[in-house]
Amino acid sequence: MTLEILTSDLLTDVKHGFFTRKGGASSGVFAGLNCGQGSSDQAEIVEINRTRVASAMGVPLTHLVTVHQTHSATVVTADAPITDRPEADAIVTATPGLALSVLTADCQPVLFADRKAGVIGAAHAGWRGAIDGILEATLDAMEALGAKRADIVAAIGPTISQRAYEVGPEFLDDFIADDPSNTRFFSNGNGDRYLFDLPGFGLHRLRRAGVGEAEWIRHCTYSDPARFYSFRRATHEGEADYGRLISSILL
């Protein structure tokens, strides 16, 4: 099976891709293109999957750059391949030939580009990273490389949609404490539960930070098991582990 790669119209002249699970070598609960080195999938199979992604991006596997994601607001700047996978949740570069990549399974993969300055970025933005400022930190790091915020475009890839993201009242409290107007990203669920709009919140943070353009490509990871891995769906179905999707961008 060939790889399935989704793209954003905002990044049409930048090599990038939001890879689905199709076309991979993994089996069982990981069936497909599991690129998660932190999963319990066989390491050699994950390597095969990552090699397929690198080939699709037109780079050697050594230049498929990822980090050890921890739901932080930490950004690393890469000017060469990274071999030690530092703890961070975003990567930026002005160096051609590096395919900046993040892994997700419901969280937002966000790809950034300033074509004029020749600067790109990739961020993993779950609710914790988004509220703590990972998107703004990525923009700051891109500016440090010469990008201009108004020239940066940002695309959010497949992520969990509001209809599938039920949360408790303590979750809402965290967002109200950050900004009372964040209540707009919540709707009523069952009982005392709420439904949270993660991509809506991500777009709000990006636009408030002054990016030139931003979009969500509108695919829900939870609702389409044939195409996407989902941590929440795996948890609801009692599965022992889950695969990780990869999203990548290249100068």
Print pLDDT tens along the chain (251 aa): 799 999 999 999 999 999 999 999 999 999 999 999 999 999 999 999 999 999 999 999 999 999 999 999 999 999 999 988 999 999 999 999 999 999 999 999 999 999 999 999 999 999 999 999 999 999 999 999 999 999 999 999 999 999 999 999 999 999 999 999 999 999 999 999 999 999 999 999 999 999 999 999 999 999 999 999 999 999 999 999 999 999 999 99
Tell me the C-alpha distance between 227 and 79, whole Å: 33
Residue 59 lies in a domain: yes
Residue 174 lies in a domain: no
Residue 103 lies in a domain: yes
Residue 213 lies in a domain: yes
Residue 191 lies in a domain: no
Amino acid letter, 191: G
Number of Cβ within a 10 Å radius of residue 165: 22
Residue 245 lies in a domain: yes
Residue 17 lies in a domain: yes
Kindly provide the residue ranges of all beta strands, DSSP E only, lying in 60-156, ordered along the sequence. 64-65, 75-77, 90-93, 99-104, 108-114, 119-125, 153-156
CATH number for 148: 3.60.140.10
Number of Cβ within a 10 Å radius of residue 102: 29
Domain around 127: 5-161+197-250
| Domains in the chain, number | 1
222-236 core/surface letters (b: 16 or more CB in 10 A; e: else): beeeebbbbbbbbee
Residue 109 lies in a domain: yes
Q: What are phi and psi of 147, to 5 degrees?
A: -70, 155
